[in-house]
Amino acid sequence: MTKIISVNAGSSSLKFQLFDMPSETVLTSGNAERIGLEEGIFTIKVNGEKHVQNLPIPDHAVAVDLLLKALVDYKVVESLDEIKGAGHRIVQGGDYFKESALVDEDVVNKVEELAPLAPLHNPAHLIGYRAFKAALPEISHVFVFDTAFHQTMEPESFLYPLPYEWYTDYKVRKYGAHGTSHQYISQRTAELMGKDIKDTKIITCHLGNGASISAVDGGVCVNTSMGLTPLGGIMMGTRCGDIDPAVAVYMARQAGMTPDELDTAFNKKSGMLGISGISSDARDIEKAYHEGNERAILTLKLYVNRVINMIGGYVMQLGHVDAISFTAGLGENDAHLRGLILDAMKECLGLSINSELNAQIHGKEAKISNDDSKVDVYVVPTNEELVIARDTYRILGF
């Protein structure tokens, strides 16, 4: 058996899972939060029991040291030598990477070069990678890119109708995100349907604080909603999604907003937060919705409208759809919002939903459509860390 660690490093966090491969057994999982702040939180789950420490975690190197020490202290491993490889989530791989890659200096340089397309993510991923490389210098590392799964899109799906030189000179195009999630969900949905994925047309809905929708034809992504950056696509927790680009020019002229101020507004003050004025958390908006708050009601109506318009376009592109799958925080747990989305598509797609079952499903696999539904509908919890472990195990050739 080979132990592989899957790592997802953010600017102030580090999530991990340790797998025994190829059995795909999860040996432990956890995260370090509030890295760089006065008091951090380190959590590790072993044998179903959660252990939490509140202590300063000044940087990612300290977070990695805490993690590795905990693996030995809680006897997850007898020795760190048992860990044979590390897989790291990287949000933006541009058009350099059509699949996961063994890390070398050239790969690191390309990820750094692409940082302007994912300024909150790529630099943080590299910090996490370097911390693990320093702590475990003998093992090999693999980068698993959120964008790789979407590199199968044709130019008519990934290009913007802008001056062509913007694409050739500056790489302005749609890259998408959440690729590991869409890859896992489409594969798992096909398995639940009892079909070879090559014989399926599936729309995957990764609905969380960040959200994206993908059209997957025969296991191959043909379109996805996020764009040049994770700002594009459907409405999200704090991100606006697709808007008329003239909004930026108009607000710059009318309100004197700078590019940085516009970037902050679009990324951090829009979406559910911007429309509701309540919160970016759908649970807060849901509560206000049921209390009759008009802006909360409007927020969910707007969200549903954006989602069904994206799905509708993908149905046209695919020709037909065999299944729609929901995943991520809202997709897995928000039965009310799922119900609103499905109800809005019911007539067009011939959906027949088991409403009682849908209301009961929170964070677990289930088929929530009835047998007479023309399209199967599933809830499938995502497992990006498993995709990372699988790719790492495969590429390192164990």
Pair 192, 365: CB distance under 8 Å: yes
Alpha carbons within 13 angstroms on the beta-carbon side of residue 238 total 9
Burial 321-342, CB ≥16 within 10 A → b, else e? bbbbbbbbbbbbbbbebbbbbb
> DSSP letter at 353?
B
Closest CA to 59 of 40, 30, 35, 41: 35
Closest CA to 375 of 397, 342, 398, 344: 342
User: Per DSSP, which regions of 182-322 are E strands?
Assistant: 201-207, 211-217, 220-224
Interatomic CA distance for residues 30 and 328, integer angstroms: 18
The tokens 């607000």 sit on which residue? 251
Catalytic annotation, pick one of 146, 217, 376, 391? 146
What residues contact residue 191 under an 8 Å CB cut-off, 6+ apart? none
Pair 86, 108: CB distance under 8 Å: no
Pair 172, 228: CB distance under 8 Å: yes
Q: Which two tokens stand for residue 288?
A: 């206000």
Determine the straight-line distance between the first and last CA of the chain, rounded to whole angstroms: 9
The tokens 């790529």 sit on which residue? 122
Pair 83, 77: CB distance under 8 Å: yes
**Residues forming beta bridges with residue 9, ordered by sequence position:** 14
Q: Which two tokens stand for residue 4?
A: 């592989």
Judge whether 169 counts as a catalytic residue. Answer: no
Closest CA to 68 of 11, 21, 16: 16
350: helix, coil or strand?
A: coil
State the catalytic residues. 146
